[in-house]
Amino acid sequence: MQKQETQKQEKIVSMFDDIAPTYDTANRVMSMGVDKSWRRKACDLAYKFYAKDSVDKIVDVACGTGDMMDFWRSRSVSSGVAVGEIVGVDPSVGMVKVARKKYPKFNYHISKATEIPLEAGSADFLSITYGIRNVVEREKALVEFNRVLKKDGLVIILEFMKNENPSLLGQIRDFYMNKILPKVGGFISKNLEAYEYLPNSIEDFSTVENMQKELEAAGFEMLYTKSFSMDISTLLIARKK
């Protein structure tokens, strides 16, 4: 079982290495920029819940090409919060290469979500944006997130969650995700398989309720859960007990 999980994780990482050069372009076209409002909301709420004037360290796991890290930076200014260090963690060398070029002032580690090379209790926030469903050993990763965070530190998750009983709008979302998005992403990236993986990964992923239970089992207390834009994206914020 461990070997199968390792091979599956390695295949996912390899896929992201392949699409890294066109990833930002594909995302902008497919999301039409609406993901920016979700990211702003996540950052603003986190700063509000934490209610401190300064934050020592923010860790963005599965940081990809670095955009969420820049949202943490820009929204800290808007929220009047001083941030010491922003760290990106991702197992994809290709993605981090793009991130380093875009945002050279941030710090980066090539690493799995289950093996974050940071000291225990060192981070105030840990975010993972549209990446938790790509972590094969998810429950192990959530425990690792808890280890890295300070007491009362926050984990912030934005994700495409599985919806077992979709509304009419949800069915429209599913049609877009299953039929339209893979063709657009595949055309831009020249890698249809990678963008066919997206709807499949959502279908195989957790529901919101199960995700909340997994967070609580890993030592977190839920603070906030909300789905946006026809339930396309869900934000979960939890505090380390």
* Burial of 231: CB neighbours in 10 Å, binned 0-12, 13-18, 19+: middle
Helix count and strand count (H, E) for the chain: 10, 7
- Tell me the C-alpha distance between 180 and 104, whole Å: 34
CA 168 to the chain's CA centroid: 26
90 is in an annotated binding site: yes
Q: What does the CA dihedral 107, 89, 144, 218 come to, rounded to 10 degrees? A: 110
65 is in an annotated binding site: yes
- CA distances in angstroms from 142 to 64, 93, 110, listed in the order given: 19, 22, 18
- Amino acid identity of 30? M
Known binding positions: 65, 90
Known binding positions for S-adenosyl-L-methionine: 65, 90
